Amino acid sequence: MTREPQKAVVAGVSVDTRHWIGGERVASSQTFTDVSPIDGSVLGEIARGTATEAAAAVAAAKAAFPGWSRTPRSERARILHAIADGVEKRLEDLAIVETTDNGALLRSHRHGVMPRVAHNFRFFADWLLRLGHEDFQTRGHTNHVSWDPAGPCALITPWNAPLMLATWKVAPALAAGNTVVLKPAEWSPLTASLLADIAAEARLPAGVLNLVQGYGSEIGSALTSHPDVRRISFTGSVPTARRIAESAVANLTPLSLELGGKSPLLVFADADLDLAVDLAVDQYDNAGQVCLAGTRLLVEEPIVEEFTRRFVEKASALKQGDPRDGTTDIGPNIHPRQLEKIDGFVQRALAAGAKAVIGGHRKEGLYYAPTLLTDVTQDSEIVQEEVFGPVLTLQTFADEEEAVRLANGTRFGLAATLATGDLERAERVSARLVAGTVWVNCFFVRDLKAPFGGSRLSGVGREGGAWSFDFYCDVKNTVTAPKGWTNHG
């Protein structure tokens, strides 16, 4: 890996480290350093934007909006498919750069994440072409529903799945006819820059997609409080979401917020135990840096000993190490600050009486041992607060009623996973769980046609399929009188 003032070269892939505003690369007077979590190597010096760059990006988006919003749906869809083609053409580049930048598994980026990035563009391009509502009649008057582009959108994305979660927002916003200012997380900014190159090669008009990089404290509020920004979509922490909401309120800018989770994974005695254990161990995916992860294992009392034995056996076999190695199961955590946070949660829990069945400690570098804590209480910090690392807790329940009470017993409501062999029970329990998504005998199965979002402190709003267009558009109803009929009163 080599560095130049305006470039990072990662595994032979050149990444421009400047902003992308109005179809041009723009430098800043200051930079911040991007470091790989794999080995601590410096990847590049990234342009560090301020309110000045934020304002320029919003101005570029505003200037491009009239042309893009009037572009026929078929042409917008064609360009989005061209962006998807570009993603697929550069899939290997995107995979190795993102793995190096955020530490997630290279095999996952190659076979799951980057193909999903391309699919995000294709799905919303195709959905756009069939978006519509049948006209309906009211006393002879015709009602016609339309989805009008809203305007420039500020999209603020996290570091744990940088490009996939960015394009989950960018693709529907562009499909809807909006222009975009994308602000990626400062801990993993590189693939967003590559996306700007890919969009330009697909002949997305200048100013339709803009990229500004920097710290949220220096650039975020300049975006979210800007009067020309008409939609804000954010994925990240609850405290940051509160600040965004406060800055957006003056302009009554609509928000979509996908926030933290403390999701339960319920295992009933009638479950397929091998499946349940597999589901539980899957929660260590991406070193536990997954907002949807079922980090609270709730296991029915009669099977807890056998479940724990099998879980420990399977989890202990996971290989932790360099995520570029195809045999690695768990890579590093993203940043020293995040590792400190994870270890702080665990050490406080142990001091309060929790028992580490496995893990409970740091390893060399930014690696944290996969951890399972037992002897925890429902009101304890480790059960109530999001850790965002490879740390699970285990509690038991006596019956269905207690299972639901424990599952719903936090401030969050993003997701829930349920393992049971009784489909009637699955229906009963699922109906009572507070969650935006419930998985029964499976995990992380997501279709873009489905609504996605959280309840309680896990978020505001839903995106996906028609819900995305409802958010990124001003939905309008036009009522037309019958020919020759007038209403004067």
Which sequence positions are flagged as catalytic? 258, 291
Q: Which residue has the tokens 């199965």?
A: 445
Distances (CA, A) of 216 to 234, 249, 332, 385: 12, 18, 24, 22
Nearest residue to 15 via CA among 189, 155, 181:
189
Helix (H) or strand (E) holding 20: strand 19-21
The pair of three-digit structure tokens given for residue 368, joined into one six-digit string? 């944290």
Give CA–CA dist 140/126, Å, rounded. Answer: 33
Give CA–CA dist 466/73, Å, rounded. Answer: 15
The pair of three-digit structure tokens given for residue 473, joined into one six-digit string? 């558009």
Whether residue 128 contacts residue 466, with contact meaning beta carbons closer than 8 Å, is answered with no
Distances (CA, A) of 75 to 31, 182, 208: 37, 22, 14
DSSP 79: H
User: Which amino acid is residue 466, in one-letter code?
Assistant: A
Helix (H) or strand (E) holding 104: none
3-state secondary structure of 435: coil
Nearest residue to 76 via CA among 204, 163, 198:
204
Helix (H) or strand (E) holding 432: helix 423-432
Backbone angles phi, psi at 317, to 5 degrees: -85, -5
DSSP 368: B
Whether residue 349 contacts residue 381, with contact meaning beta carbons closer than 8 Å, is answered with yes
Give CA–CA dist 162/216, Å, rounded. Answer: 15
Give CA–CA dist 276/272, Å, rounded. Answer: 6
DSSP 228: T
Nearest residue to 268 via CA among 76, 156, 71, 401:
401
Sequence-ordered alpha helix ranges (H) in 1-155: 51-69, 73-89, 91-102, 106-108, 114-130
For the chain, what's the residue count?
Answer: 489
